[in-house]
Amino acid sequence: MKKIAKSLTAVLCAVLTLGFTACQRDYEDLIIGSWEVVSCTITETINGQSSTETQVPPGGYSEICTFNKDNTFVDKRTGGRYSDTNQGTYSLSDDQLTIAINSGWQDDEGEWHSTVDTETVTIKKLDKKELVIVMTDTESANYTCLLESKLKRI
């Protein structure tokens, strides 16, 4: 009986380990492709008072983010007053998506500068059709901003 219990325990541990590994693999596979931002909900809390605003489409522009198999991405915003393209790399760890955006600009003297801005967001939902990410920014004890973006696969 003890041998059966030990065998079942070993099998259960193996299945659970593979299951957790499969979840990570699923996220890595599911995120590949192009996603269009369909809404952004911003909740600001200042001194304990909250206000929420949802923008559909956000800011009057179209935004499409493409995640590639080689862990690079391209984010294109068009419409409104401007169009913008950001490029960089991304990585996944459980439900955490870390994005490193490469930025460059030219100053008044004509000299080029570049930076890499890194941001980590939490994946709230990811399946074949929808990606929901959440970012929290706490600037002080009195101010918090929660940004939830919903994207659909295109």
**Each residue of 89-131: pLDDT tens digit?**
999 999 999 999 987 777 888 888 888 899 999 999 999 999 9
Q: Residue 126 and residue 51: Cα distance in Å, rounded?
A: 27
Evaluate if residue 1 carries a pLDDT over 50.
no
Q: Where in the chain are the domains?
A: 31-153
Contact indicator for 148, 124 with CB cutoff of 8 Å: yes
Q: What is the largest CA-CA distance in the chain?
A: 80
pLDDT for residue 139: 81
CA distances from 13 to 10, 17, 36, 139 (A): 5, 6, 39, 42
* Token digits of residue 106: 């030219």
Q: Which pLDDT band holds residue 16 (cuts at 50, 70, 90)?
A: very low
Evaluate if residue 66 carries a pLDDT over 60.
yes
Alpha helices in the chain (DSSP H): 2-30
**Each residue of 24-49: pLDDT tens digit?**
557 899 999 999 999 999 999 999 89
Contact indicator for 27, 20 with CB cutoff of 8 Å: no
**Architecture of 31-153 per CATH?**
Beta Barrel (2.40)
According to DSSP, the residues that pair with 105 across neighbouring strands are 113
